[in-house]
Amino acid sequence: MPNSNIAKLLRVESPFLTLSSLQAILDLTRESARTTASRLVKKGILLRITRNLYVVAGRKYSLFSLANALYQPSVISLETALNYWGLIVQVPQRIFSVSLGSYKSTIDNIEFVYRRIDPPLFHFGQKKVEDFFIAEPEKAFLDALYMKNKGLVELLPEDVDLGKLDTELVDFYSRPYPDTVRKMVRLYREQSYAAK
């Protein structure tokens, strides 16, 4: 492989590469990209994470950015984001994301779980922090209630520090969610105020 192609790979901002990104960067066919990836792994330039995901050797990345790269599009949310923003104290044993499909993967004994969310509920309330995309606190809270309604999340009103949420933003973000989620928001607020 010409050194100019290796230089192109090393200039890529993301630490992660897929066969599709290799194809685009190096202007290759799919089969050539697969062969090239295999050669780069043997040379120690790329490390294989999964069948279609590689990392440039020596590049640092967080587990959350790996979660974003493993299944796309996806964003860190649910219990993982709630813990990250300090809304719950329990540290989830898995890394939870929302995405447009359901998926699970285990890498180095860490389980990455992707919960499917309807497309109109996916494309807002996200921000980039360091090297990953995560749901804003208010969006993570609503996502968790949405999944709780489906029996996929255990979240009690006393578990959540609602004082850290922007009430107006919760109300604004809750508009496209089902009525059941908005009712749960009211219930959580009532129980939170009653506990004070």
Residue 4 has pLDDT above 80, yes or no: no
115 pLDDT band, cuts 50/70/90, is very high
| Residue (of 160, 165, 166) closest to 188 by Cα position | 160
What is the amino acid identity at position 123? H
The answer to whether 6 and 16 are in contact (CB under 8 A) is no
pLDDT value of position 91: 84
Average pLDDT over every residue of 118-133: 96
Which two three-digit tokens encode residue 86? 């300090």
pLDDT value of position 193: 67
Q: What is the pLDDT of residues 18-51, one digit of tens each?
A: 999 999 999 999 999 999 999 999 999 999 999 8
Q: Going from the N-terminus, what domains does the chain have, and what CATH number goes with each?
A: 3-56 (1.10.10.10), 63-195 (no CATH)
pLDDT value of position 170: 98
Tell me the H-state helices in the chain: 3-11, 19-26, 30-42, 63-70, 78-84, 137-149, 167-173, 179-195
Residue 8 has pLDDT above 90, yes or no: no
Report how many helices (DSSP H) and strands (DSSP E) the chain contains, helices first. 8, 9
Residue 192 has pLDDT above 90, yes or no: no
Residue 6 has pLDDT above 90, yes or no: no
pLDDT value of position 11: 87
Q: What is the pLDDT of residues 142-173, one digit of tens each?
A: 999 999 999 999 998 999 999 999 999 999 99
pLDDT value of position 35: 94
Q: What is the largest CA-CA distance in the chain?
A: 68
Average pLDDT over every residue of 92-107: 96
pLDDT value of position 97: 98
Which two three-digit tokens encode residue 121? 């509920």
Partner residues linked to 75 by β-bridges: 98
Burial status of residue 62 (CB atoms within 10 A of its CB: 0-12, 13-18, 19 or more) = middle
Mean pLDDT for all residues in the chain: 93
Average pLDDT over every residue of 133-146: 98
What is the helix, strand, coil percentage profile of the chain, to 5? 45, 20, 35
pTM > 0.85: yes or no: yes
Partner residues linked to 27 by β-bridges: none
Residue 196 has pLDDT above 60, yes or no: no
